[in-house]
Amino acid sequence: MAGILRAPSAFAVTPHKVSTCILIQIYAPPAQISVPFPFSSVTQHNRLGLYLLALTKSCDDIFEPKLAELLNQLREIGGLMDQWLTNHLTNRLSALQSPDDLFNFFSEMRGILGGLDSGVVEDDQIILDPNSNLGLFLRRCILAFNLLSFEGVCHLLTNIGIYCNECFSTCPTYELQHLDDPSNEVEVLSEYENMDLENYISEKITEEIEAGITSKGVSFHLYLPKALSTLVEGADIEASTNPKLEHSNKVGEHSLYTPSSSNALRNVDPRGGVFLRSNWQMQGYFMERAEAIEKHGSSFSSSAFELILRQLQKLAPELDRVHFLRYLNSLYHDDYFAALENLHCYFDYSAGTEGFDFLSPTPGTNSFGRYEIALLCLGMMHFHFGHPKQALEVFTEAVRVSQQQSNDSCLAYTLAAICNLLSEIGISSTTGMLGSSYSPMISVGTSLSVQQQLFVLLKGSLKRAESLKLKQLVAANHLAVAKFDLTHVQRPLISFGPKASMKLKTCPINVCKELRSCSRLVSAFSSEGSGLTMEGAFCTAWLKNLQKPIGSLVLSEDHGSGNNANPSQFCTQPSSIHGSLLQLVGSSYLLRATAWEMYGSAPLAQVHALVYATCFADTSSSLDATLVHVKLIQHLAIFKGYKEAFAALKIAEEKFLCISKSRILILKLQLLHERALHRGHLKLAQQVCDQLGVLASSITGVDMDLKTEASLRHARTFLAAKQFSQATAVAHSLFCMCYKFNLQVENASVLLLLAEIHMKSGNAVLGLPYALASLSFCQSFNLDLLKASATLILAELLLSLGTTHRKGALTLIHGVFPMILGHGGLELCARAYIAEAKCHLSDPSFSVSENSEVVLDPLKQASEDLQALEYHELAAEAFYLMAFVFDKLGHLEEREEAAAQFKKHIMVLENPQAVEDPLFNL
Amino acid sequence: MNSKENCRNELRTAVLQLSDRCLYSASKWAAEQLVGIEHDPAKFTPSNTRFQRGSSSIRRRFRTNELTSTPVTGVSYVSTPVMEEDEAVNGDFYLLAKSYFHCREYRRAGHVLREQTGKKSDFLRCYALYLAGEKRKEEEMIELEGPLGKSYAVNRELVSLERELSALHKNGMLDSFGLYLYGLVLKEKGNENLARTVLVNSVNSYPWNWSAWLELQALCSTIDILNSLTLNNHWMKEFFLASAYQELRMHNESLAKYEHLQGIFGFSNYIQAQIAKVQYSLREFEQVEVIFEELLRIDPFRVEDMDVYSNVLYTKECFSALSYLAHRVILTDKYRPETCCIIGNYYSLKGQHEKSVMYFKRALKLNKNYLSAWTLMGHEYVEMKNIPAAVDAYRRAVDISPRDYRAWYGLGQTYEMMAMPFYALHYFRKSVFLQPNDSRLWIAMAQCYEAEQLHMVEEAIKCYGRAANCNDREAIALHKLAKLHKELGRSDEAAFYYKKDLERMEAEDREGPNMVEALMFLAQHYKARNRFEESEVYCTRLLDYTGPERETAKSLLRGMRMDRSGFPSMDVEHLPP
């Protein structure tokens, strides 16, 4: 606030605005019939109107266009009358020679406005409604001019002089160009002709703007105008043949990577001539930039943007938002100190008040400022940089201050942020941090484990958000709860006493419910329409950094929705759904994919991931986008083999050049590790596994997922190396860790691994209890695919106990076949086939010659799959069995072939370093 | 003395040359130093030294090293200024331009000289244009926005001036004054490195232009930059270094330089004032007060630096002296930022914060970059509980000079007041980084850590430890250290600090609850350690106080005596029969 000290920056009259006024006058000359003089058709007339609207609203740049640019654009717009237009404009401008001319000019402007009281309006007459968009603009210009002191008028006059001179000196060729005849424009525009855009747009906008402008000061969230400007510009450019303007066609994509390089180069000319756009447009620009930074992460050029910001700060020091953008910029470029500095600076200046655009300006609430938001942001910054402890500390403070200031929405957001922190990074112990808080719901948590505490917090946060009607927060909370439920193991509430059942279970239904209630919000929003702007006490860009991967709990409500790259999209979706909303819905799809992955339906998981990738790609944040790529590539690796997976990985790596490198890096390591295991490159596998382990944070209780995964892979590597005792030791300690941190779901796979280790080491009897335990875990946690694979292991164990158990094993295998074939990957299928074949072969009553297909078909299938995976060990086994069968059948030739294949795989397995890996270049 | 005579001659010429070029403040400064050179008492009548009588008494009181009256030998100085004056073919126009300049009609002055050649005319023309631009800039600042808002008005002459001066520079057509102006323009344009080189050239060729030194100093934001400058040896360099050290808050080095300079410029008011300012930074308020009183006596219409004096009076809560000072300066010159600041201080002392803010605002209107006014205004807003305004004011100060530890400290305090200790820590960290030897800052930071919301006791102990090491005047740190250690159950450490605190209180002859607390703890601690004699000493001391502690001490003593007397019998009892 500190408005005490600072004069509110007003809407200033600039030369550009004067030109716009002149154009408005052309557009709506007083008392004329429907198609005024210079215009040859309604289309043309409408087109100028559209252009003017765009001119007053666009926020793709910080500076007002120079006269030369304006003239160029007019040439595109003007069609047949371009010469008349430009001449008229320049003549009018150069006629302004003395202060008195300016006075006359503006009083003339007043004449354009149709009076509210001017009784009869003829049907065809053009009247600029004073409350329309352009009318408002004109009124503001006139008002601003009337407020000017004489010195101000003198400034304006000199500036107009500079504005004109600059144009005539820098582009002497402007006379030459206007004989192009873009006759094709008429066709293009004809589609708009019927839409009565002016009506449509002005209706739409005025409600929005009125809300912003009239409620004192400039509203923060102005998203519609930009969409509008791109709509109009897009339309123009499609028609234009001028390559010079072509570049702006991809406003979204291109300018993101080289953010308005023209600005950066355009030095601030101390002689004037460079003016910032209206405050309102600036805010729109900021929103857009903030979104772009957030979406593109570190691929956003840092220094170029910083340059613009610095310039902006010099030109308009009163725009506090610049500090915030600098903060965002440094945040996404991992510059901790700059981010910290700018964050503090921003909140020192704005006192957090800028974030609320419909904060009631009652004096009582303003006296303190909104510093709790500063805390919230600081906490999220620490979270982003991976300082969970500091983040929690700050959040605790935020909770306290929000309570003191009774800022409920901030409290709700803070709680959500804490949930996010706890579930994303995890923390070893929160006692003593949250304990000192007064919050009833947090203080309950002190005696609970982190998991339970998270649960309590999530419930509380959800309730709070619901009662405050913060819809997006509610949706995000639903997502968070769903994510929590996914791995949350419920215990029955009454579990005291010796006879209480200790049955654990997860609840997929809950997950589903939560996901549904999240998606339901879309309909709530689309029915609400513009109410969205009012939604949420501080729906600002800075909440963006809250999101992190998996189901990214997007709390942001960013405006200026992301579909800017494609103007046609806007046309097809009149009720343009909000970018942030789309992000939320997208995240719910991602979470669905994750859920199906867990519950064991690979096709469904893939479908959801694909839905996300196709429908939400342009609104997704870079983190979500990488996540979906990771999922799809993993799917490829499991179902199609490594070749394709690595090809896809290469593409992904190029696409996400340096963004969230860690996620792609982890995937790469995972794939490399798996392939190395299959190929038998154990040294490499060990190396990769170690690298994976290093990526996790060293703090206990943090980054548990990665740690679990690393040690699981470690154990597997030992297993592949036939070092059973080490493998068992690692798996055991992993089990203990998972138990300690309540990671029950992970334990199912650890148990399975233990069973496998015992099986491979020849202790089938020892393996049995583990397999059974894993099986029961899977059952109660609804992990169907894992259950199938546990059953398979059980069958294999039974098989290795002796032929007497052969029958039971076969039944087991047949029981899970539908699951495995439907949802399992190549490896699992192959293993099932081989196990089945083994069962048959070990049956003394089974005659190979009679039912050779029963064994041969699965073996063939298995060998194909395994070759795709380059899983030499199992492939060798399959070929061995095949050779055995062929031998029995007496097919010598085929037997030799299978034997040769067997030999080949064995050879490769024994000389693992024969093939050098080009991909291993970390 | 020869060197004194040299200095005098150099300065005399310099004053003439500088004022011929309308470099008023530099010539004022030079003239002040000229008069400040200590005279040979034998040669001058008392009337000549009338203005200087007192200063020698200050010297007697505060100068410790009388030896410095001779300049350091073995230092080669550049010789006296011999400026070849480019000749007055167009002398008449120059005179006219100068007269216009005197009347502040800068554009006119520039216009008169438009066709004149020669370094001197070139300089004056450019300088006049520069000033015209500055004047216009100031006006625009007011026109375009409220004077307290940050404004983007720029000096519109800069571009053309830079173009012209760089062309001249390339051709070697700039004399040292031209170089000064070029450096100034470059600095305004933000080209700091080149500006530094140019200014160094300027001061090396003509060291008596104090304005050039000041510009150079503003470009030396770190000690490394300062050390990297290649400056010729000249006594003016000493002035520069002293001032630069002061700005970089190397107070002791600065003080040494000034005291050394006093050897020659014994009667320089400037040096006195600077010494006072350094002493103020070192928090030697008594000395500062004496110096300023003396200065005011010699130079009763001085307004410069008097805000520092008022700060001292404020700290010492001298109501009447402060009001007297305020009255005096307002009669001298009402529209000086220092004046407004002094009045603001007075009202602040009187607890009339609204009025105080008004005067600080006026000071800032007069000089937007008046650092201490921003900070002081922040303090006033804090008093008025207008927190956003306070934060904003402090932030402005910090933006003007990121090295202003007071403003960082103020920010920290404000946030701490709002019960945001963790957030405040960031600011305290900043201020402590800038001023690591100030115990108050460390204590503030420690209190943040200690706050009930954070309760990070270990960190608090570390901060108190630092505070205790840097001469903590209020003796908060020792007591706190003892207390915290006691809370953590580390009674040995606690006893150590209580003892230290006790010693300190004894040395400073202070009494109070802290004393009782320390005695009580020590008595109990030594008793628990079975060091009865020591414990008894403390108990006996406690008997001097009234209150419940006295009773406790009594019972302690009784207990110990019982123990000691009962000891043998108990021993016997416990022996197996």
What is the C-alpha to C-alpha distance for residues A755 and A445, in angstroms, rounded to an integer?
37
- Cβ separation A349–B150 shorter than 8 A: no
Query: Is residue A652 classed as helix, strand or coil in its secondary structure?
Result: helix
Cα–Cα distance for residue pair A679/A809, rounded to 1 Å: 28
Higher pLDDT: B507 or B135? It is: B135
CB pairs under 8 A between A and B: 106
Looking at per-residue pLDDT, the higher value among B64 and B15 belongs to B15
Residue A550 is predicted with a pLDDT of 30
- Asked if B395's CB is within 8 angstroms of A317's CB, the reply is no
Confidence of residue B215 (pLDDT cuts 50, 70, 90): very high
* CB atoms B411 and A270 under 8 Å: no
Report DSSP state, residue B401.
-
Decide if A5 touches B, using CB distance below 8 A.
yes
Across A190-204, B213-227, B358-372, B466-480, least confident range = A190-204
What integer is the mean pLDDT of B471-484? 80
Q: Do residues A293 and A300 touch, judged by C-beta distance below 8 A?
A: yes
Q: Is the pLDDT of residue B78 over 60?
A: no
**Does the structure show a pLDDT above 60 at A801?**
yes
Q: How far is CA A170 from the centre of its chain?
A: 43
**Averaged pLDDT for residues A537-541:** 30
d(CA A395, CA A379): 6
Distance between CA atoms of residues A617 and A621, nearest Å: 8
CA distances to B559, B564, B574, B575 from B571, in Å: 17, 11, 5, 6
For the segment A241-247, the average pLDDT, to the nearest whole number, is 32
Residue that is written with structure tokens 């011929």 in the block: B20
Residue A313: pLDDT over 90: no
- As a whole number of angstroms, the distance between CA A836 and CA A856 comes to 11
Q: What average pLDDT does this structure show over A734-742?
A: 83
Under 8 Å between Cβ of A406 and A537: no
Range A293-314 average pLDDT: 74
pLDDT-derived band at B216, boundaries 50, 70, 90: very high
Cβ of B421 within 8 Å of Cβ of A397? The answer is yes
Q: Which residues of A touch B422 (CB under 8 A)?
A: 375, 393-394, 397
Distance of CA A109 to the CA centre of its chain: 46
Question: Left (φ > 0), alpha (ψ -120 to 50) or beta: where does A490 sit?
Answer: beta
Binned at pLDDT 50, 70 and 90, residue B356 comes out as very high
Indicate the range of A66-80, A227-241, A506-520, A689-703 predicted with least confidence. Answer: A227-241
Residue A281 has pLDDT above 80, yes or no: no
Rounded mean pLDDT, A230-239: 31
Which of A414-418, A508-512, A698-702 has the weakest average pLDDT? A698-702
- Whether residues B392 and A397 touch (CB distance < 8 A) is answered with no
Name the minimum distance, in Å, from the CA of A111 to any CA of chain B: 28
Nearest CA in chain A to B139: A151
Beta-carbon count within 10 A of A614 CB: 9
Q: A38 by DSSP, 3-state: which?
A: coil
Q: Locate A561 and state its tokens.
A: 């929705």
Half-sphere exposure of A525 toward its Cβ, with a 13 Å CA cutoff? Answer: 28
Report how far apart the first and last C-alpha atoms of chain A are (Å, whole number): 50
CB pair distance less than 8 Å for B388 and A314 = no
Are A349 and B144 a contacting pair at CB < 8 A? no
What rounded mean pLDDT belongs to chain A? 70
For B542-560, the three-class secondary structure string (H helix, E strand, C coil) is HCCCCCHHHHHHHHHHHHH
Place of tokens 């503006």: A106
Give B474 or A476, the one with higher predicted confidence. A476
Interface of B with A (CB under 8 A): 139-140, 143-146, 148-152, 154-156, 158-159, 385-389, 391-396, 399, 411, 415, 418-423, 426-427, 452-455
Nearest by CB to residue B422, choosing from A151, A344, A394, is A394
Q: Which residue has the higher pLDDT, A257 or A643?
A: A643
Q: What is the pLDDT at residue A58?
A: 67
Q: Choose the closest CB to B156 out of A270, A344, A401.
A: A270
Q: Could you tell me if A410 lies within 8 Å of chain B, comparing CB atoms? A: no
3-state secondary structure of A490: strand
Tell me which chain B residue has its CA closest to the CA of residue A319: B150
Q: Which two tokens stand for residue A379?
A: 């906490």
- Put simply, the answer to whether B423 touches A378 (Cβ < 8 Å) is yes
Phi, psi of A100 (to 5 degrees): -65, -35
Closest Cβ opposite residue A4 in set B143, B144, B389: B389
Q: What is the pLDDT of residue A594?
A: 84
**Closest approach of A510 to chain B, Cα-based (Å):** 37
Q: What is the pLDDT of residue B195?
A: 92
Average pLDDT over chain B reads: 82
Two structure tokens written together for B548 = 């419940």
CB atoms within 10 A of CB B171: 8
Q: Which residue has the tokens 């009506």?
A: A199
Lookup: tokens for B466: 């630092």
- At A279 the pLDDT is 67
Distances (CA, A) of A550 to A296, A612, A630, A902: 17, 13, 11, 43
pLDDT (mean) for A282-300: 70
Asked if the C-beta of A270 comes within 8 angstroms of chain B's C-beta atoms, the answer is yes
Chain B environment of A320 (Cβ under 8 Å): none
Q: Is A113 helix (H, G, I), strand (E, B) or coil?
A: strand
Q: What is the 3-state secondary structure (H, E, C) of B246-262?
A: HHCCCHHHHHHHHHHHC
Average pLDDT, integer, range B175-180: 90
List of chain B residues whose C-beta atoms are within 8 Å of the C-beta of residue A378: 423
Which of A155, A340, A369 is the closest to B387 by Cβ?
Answer: A369
Which residues of A fall within a CB distance of 8 Å from B146? 6-7
* Interchain contact, B423 vs A374, CB within 8 Å: yes
The vertex-A919 CA angle with A915 and A922, nearest 5°, equals: 125
User: How close, in Å, is residue A590 to chain B by CA atoms?
Assistant: 36
The pair phi, psi for residue A323, each rounded to 5°, is -60, -40
Mean pLDDT of B359-368: 88
pLDDT tens by residue, A321-361? 788 888 888 888 878 888 888 888 888 887 756 543 333 33
Per-residue pLDDT of B47-62, as tens digits, reads 444 444 444 444 444 4
In terms of pLDDT, which residue wins out, A325 or B196? B196
Local structure of residue A846 (DSSP, 8 states): -
**Using 50, 70 and 90 to split pLDDT, how confident is the model at B43?**
low
Determine the average pLDDT of the residues in B453-476: 82
Percent of all residues in chain A with a pLDDT value above 90, rounded to a whole number = 1
C-alpha separations of A309 from A106, A214, A324, A839, B214 in Å: 34, 28, 10, 72, 31
What gap in Å lies between CA B323 and CA B318, rounded to an integer?
Answer: 9
How far, in Å, are B281, B283, B289, B326 from residue B311 at the CA level? Answer: 11, 11, 10, 12
Interchain pair A270, B159: CB under 8 A: yes
Q: Does position B348 have pLDDT exceeding 90, yes or no?
A: yes
Judging contacts by C-beta atoms under 8 Å, the chain B residues touching residue A369 are 387-388, 391
Distance (Å) from the C-alpha of residue B376 to the closest C-alpha of chain A? 15
- In this complex, do B393 and A155 lie within 8 Å of one another by their Cβ atoms? no
Are A462 and A477 within 8 A, CB to CB?
yes
Q: How many Cβ atoms sit within 10 Å of the Cβ of residue A275?
A: 20
> Who contacts B101 (Cβ-Cβ below 8 Å, separation ≥6)?
B22, B109, B124, B128
What gap in Å lies between CA B439 and CA B249, rounded to an integer? 16
* For residues A739-746, average pLDDT: 77
Collapse the DSSP code of A63 into the 3-class scheme (helix H, G, I; strand E, B; otherwise coil) and give the result.
strand
Tokens of B556: 């302690």
Cβ-Cβ contacts under 8 Å, A318 against chain B: 149-150
Is residue A316 pLDDT above 80, yes or no? no
Kindly report each contact of residues A776-779 with a partner whose C-beta sits within 8 Å and lies 24 or more positions away, as own/partner: A777/A744, A777/A745, A777/A747, A777/A748, A777/A751, A778/A748
Min CA distance, A436 vs chain B (Å)? 6
What was the pLDDT predicted at B380?
A: 92
Lowest mean pLDDT among A150-154, A185-189, A517-521, B317-321: A185-189
Suggest the residue from A149, A348, A387, A397 to mutate for an interface test with chain B (most B CBs closer than 10 A). A348
Tokens 């694909």 correspond to what residue? A610
pLDDT at position A64 is: 75
* pTM attached to this predicted model: 0.72
DSSP assignment letter at A123: S
Residue in A closest to B158 by C-alpha:
A270
Asked if A397 and B423 come within 8 Å (Cβ–Cβ), the reply is: yes
Residues contacting residue A787 through CB under 8 Å, at least 6 positions apart: A600, A775, A778, A779, A816, A819
Contact B386 A367 (CB under 8 A): yes
Question: What pLDDT score does A213 carry?
Answer: 37
Residues 6+ apart with CB under 8 A from A367: B385, B386, B387, B388
What's the complex ipTM?
Answer: 0.74
Helix runs in B367-420, H state only:
371-383, 387-400, 405-417
Burial A753-777, CB ≥16 within 10 A → b, else e? bbbbbbbbbeebebbbebbebbbbb
pLDDT of residue A194: 39
- Give B158's contacts in chain A (Cβ within 8 Å): 270
Query: Å from B195 to nearest chain A CA?
Result: 19
Element (H, E) at A16: helix A15-27
Convert the pLDDT of each residue in A92-147 to its tens digit: 888 888 888 888 888 888 877 766 555 555 555 666 777 777 888 888 888 888 88
Q: Which residues of A touch B385 (CB under 8 A)?
A: 367
Residue predicted with more confidence, B84 or A820: A820
Taking an 8 Å cut-off on Cβ atoms, the answer to whether A151 and B143 are in contact is yes
**Is 50 exceeded by the pLDDT of residue A246?**
no
With an 8 Å Cβ cutoff, are B420 and A378 in contact?
no
The C-alpha of A5 sits at a distance from chain B's nearest C-alpha, in angstroms, of 6
